[in-house]
């Protein structure tokens, strides 16, 4: 069975990067956006990165504009926004699609292994589901990711161990990372 190490991606400057370069590290792979209600997730993500990077932890940030056009800038504009506003220091890659016929193969792989199981209970989560369903109708059965800031936790062997929807509390994400580390 394939692991994340079998995939190549493009960095924010367009250079091809093998995810084998991250072998032996715990990864949190995230599709992000700069103009989303979940954009403040950058703060706890950066705090986690600073706390755990010396223990073999990496966050791989993949901007995506497929959710209500909430990441409209180019790679350099997105990078500048993230570093200036949130002080992000973790690797940021080229903007990608995560749904549809043009979905990045890495995200197809991640979401096939850990499919969407819901946003959770509550009024906000129900509202997000309704909005996400409308947004993702165009992608049909290729709507792999339901919204920005979906996170995939990958162990040191490249296996996808957990999926976190953007509605999951970031403290819970951090606890799961600590367990894998």
Look at residue 123 and tell me whether its pLDDT is greater than 90.
no
Look at residue 1 and tell me whether its pLDDT is greater than 80.
no
The answer to whether residues 157 and 1 touch, using CB atoms and an 8 Å cutoff, is: no
Closest CA to 166 of 138, 124, 136: 124
**Both tokens of residue 168?**
């999951």
- pLDDT, tens only, 161-175: 999 999 999 999 999
* 26, 28, 30, 36: the active-site residue: 36
pLDDT confidence of residue 73: 86
The residue assigned the tokens 């040191």 is 156
Mean pLDDT of the chain: 95
Percent of the chain with pLDDT over 70: 100
pLDDT confidence of residue 125: 87
Look at residue 25 and tell me whether its pLDDT is greater than 80.
yes
User: Is residue 82 annotated as part of the catalytic site, yes or no?
Assistant: no
The answer to whether residues 108 and 144 touch, using CB atoms and an 8 Å cutoff, is: yes
Give the C-alpha separation, 17 to 135, whole Å: 30
The residue assigned the tokens 């715990």 is 26
Give the C-alpha separation, 2 to 19, whole Å: 12
All domains of the chain, ordered by start, with CATH?
Answer: 4-180 (3.40.30.10)
Look at residue 148 and tell me whether its pLDDT is greater than 90.
yes
Query: Cα torsion at 16, 48, 170, 144 (round to 10°)?
Result: 10
Mean pLDDT, range 43-53, rounded to an integer = 98
Model confidence, pTM? 0.95
């Amino acid at each position: 069975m394939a692991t994340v190490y079998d995939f190549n991606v493009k960095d924010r400057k367009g250079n091809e990067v093998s995810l084998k370069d991250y072998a032996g590290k715990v990864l949190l792979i995230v599709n992000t956006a700069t103009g989303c209600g979940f954009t403040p997730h950058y703060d706890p993500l950066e705090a986690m990165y600073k706390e755990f990077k010396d223990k073999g932890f990496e966050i791989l940030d993949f901007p995506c504009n497929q959710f209500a056009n909430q990441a409209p800038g180019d790679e350099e504009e997105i990078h500048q926004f993230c570093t200036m506003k949130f002080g992000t220091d973790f690797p940021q890659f080229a903007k990608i699609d995560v749904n549809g016929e043009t979905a990045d193969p890495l995200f197809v792989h991640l979401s096939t292994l850990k499919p969407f199981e819901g946003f959770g209970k509550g009024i906000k989560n129900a509202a997000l589901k309704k909005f996400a369903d409308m947004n993702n109708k165009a992608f049909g059965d290729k709507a792999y990711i339901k919204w920005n800031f979906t996170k995939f936790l990958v162990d040191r062997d490249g296996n996808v161990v957990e999926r976190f929807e953007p509605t999951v509390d970031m403290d819970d994400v951090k606890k799961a990372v600590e367990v894998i580390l």
